[in-house]
Amino acid sequence: MAFKQPYPSYFLHILLLLPCSIFAQTHISLGSSLTALNDNSSWPSPSGDFAFGFRKIGEDGFLLAIWFNKVKERTIAWSANGNNLVPEGSKVEFTSDGKFILNDVTGKLIWMPESSATGVAFAAMLDTGNFVLVDLNSINLWESFDVPTDTILPTQTLNSTLHARLSVANYSRGRFLFKLGYDGNLLLSTTYFPLDSENFAYWSTPTELNSGFLAIFNQSGSLYLISKNGSILNIVFPNTVSVQDFYHRATLEYDGVLRHYVYPKSTSSSLSWPMAWSTLSFIPSNICLSIRGYTGFGACGFNSICRHDQGPICECPHGYTFIDSNDMLKGCKQNFVPQHCDEASLDMNLFDFQEMQSTNWPNSVYQKFTPRIPLLNGRMDPSVGGKALIKIRKNNSTSIPGGTNTKRKHKYSTLILIGTILLCSLVFLSFLIPFITYMVVSCIYSRKGKEATNGFKEEIRRGASATVFKGLLAFDDAKCIAVKRLSTMVGENELEFKAEVCAIARTNHRNLVKLIGFCNEGQHRLLAYEFMSNGSLATFLFGESGPNWKSRNQIALGVSQGLL
Residue 270: how many CB atoms within 10 A of its CB?
Answer: 16
Question: What number is the average pLDDT over the span 148-168?
Answer: 94
Among 31-45, 289-303, 392-406, the least confident range: 392-406
Find, among 319, 299, 318, 317, the residue nearest to 308 by Cα.
299
Strands 515-521 and 524-530: antiparallel
pLDDT digits (tens, 9 = 90+) for 422-471: 555 554 444 444 444 333 333 344 444 356 666 676 777 777 667 888 88
Nearest to 179, CA basis, from 165, 198, 166:
198
Q: For a pLDDT cut of 70, what percent of the chain falls above it?
A: 72
Spell out the domains of the chain, with CATH numbers in brackets.
Answer: 1-147 (2.90.10.10), 155-284 (2.90.10.10), 320-396 (no CATH), 421-533 (3.30.200.20)
Residue 295 burial (C-beta neighbours within 10 Å; 0-12, 13-18, 19+) = middle
Beta partners for residue 313, in sequence order = 307
Task: Reduce the DSSP state of residue 424 to 3 states and report it.
Answer: helix
pLDDT in tens, 86-104: 999 999 999 988 899 999 9
The arithmetic mean of pLDDT across residues 97-120, rounded, is 88
Q: What is the DSSP string of 233-275?
A: EEEEE---S-TTTEEEEEEE-TTS-EEEEEEESSHHHHTTS-S
Q: Give the tens place of pLDDT for each residue, 497-510.
A: 666 676 666 666 66
Contact 483, 528 (CB under 8 A): yes
Highest mean pLDDT among 338-352, 362-376, 383-397: 383-397
How many angstroms separate the Cα of 547 from the Cα of each of 511, 513, 541, 542?
17, 20, 6, 9
Q: Would you state the pLDDT for residue 499?
A: 64
